[in-house]
């Protein structure tokens, strides 16, 4: 059990038998009335996001989630195989659990896998990754119809929008949360 004072991003709550992860929270103390906490919760299994408000000081049930460091090894059919960094055990995770993270996975990349009672729940990637551009059209000088961006295909197959000056073969820093371009990496 935890109080609303213990809320932090990443905390997993048990609500009506389902696991929900706190992605955002805000303590609100209005001028009149009791304080409360606004939260944005993401269902660990389905990925559904909901807003929920708690009165300050309320006790909520938390789930024990074990986050373990792992290394991405390879893809085997619809499964992605990871190796635990501590006991070197291999964990095949289904494509449905990996989700959009597959767009940014490179072999030997370090990730975190969250387990609850020995069952893998979700995968956490680093906030940014470095990927090489495998294909992009040359940018035309003066073309501002697309706000100065163009599509580029990365080495993982992900499609992202990049500035016009990016060329095939450039290494880019990409945000794994939204697939946004963060900058060019000097080789």
Please give the Cα distance from 140 to 157 (Å, whole number).
24
Q: Kindly report the length of the chain.
A: 187
* CATH 3.40.50.300 assigned to 2-60: no
Please tell me the CATH code under which domain 66-124 is placed: 2.40.50.140
Residues 6+ apart with CB under 8 A from 186: none
Considering the chain, what is the average pLDDT of its residues? 85
Mean pLDDT of the 70-81 span: 89
Other beta carbons within 10 Å of 130: 14
Instruction: Say what the pLDDT of residue 147 is.
Output: 66
Give the pLDDT band of residue 187 (cuts 50, 70, 90).
low
**Token reading at 90:** 């291999």
Superfamily of 128-185 according to CATH: Nucleic acid-binding proteins (2.40.50.140)
Query: Domain coordinates of the chain in residue numbers?
Result: 2-60, 66-124, 128-185
């Amino acid at each position: 059990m935890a109080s609303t004072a213990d809320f932090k991003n990443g905390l997993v709550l048990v609500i009506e038998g389902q696991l929900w992860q706190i992605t955002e929270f805000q303590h609100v103390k209005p001028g009149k009335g009791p304080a409360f906490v606004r939260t944005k919760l993401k269902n660990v299994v389905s990925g559904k996001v909901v807003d929920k408000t708690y009165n300050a000081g309320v006790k909520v049930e938390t789930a024990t989630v074990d986050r373990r460091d792992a290394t991405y090894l390879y893809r085997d059919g619809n499964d992605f195989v990871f190796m635990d960094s501590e006991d070197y055990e291999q964990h095949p995770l289904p494509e449905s659990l990996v989700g959009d993270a597959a767009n940014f996975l490179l072999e030997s990349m370090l990730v975190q896998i969250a387990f609850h009672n020995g069952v893998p729940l979700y995968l956490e990637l680093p906030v940014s990754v470095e990927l090489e551009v495998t294909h992009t059209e040359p940018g035309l000088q003066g073309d501002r119809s697309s706000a100065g961006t163009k599509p580029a295909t990365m080495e993982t197959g992900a499609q992202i929008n990049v500035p016009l000056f990016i060329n095939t073969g450039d290494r880019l820093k990409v945000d794994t949360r939204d697939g946004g371009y963060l900058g060019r990496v000097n080789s």
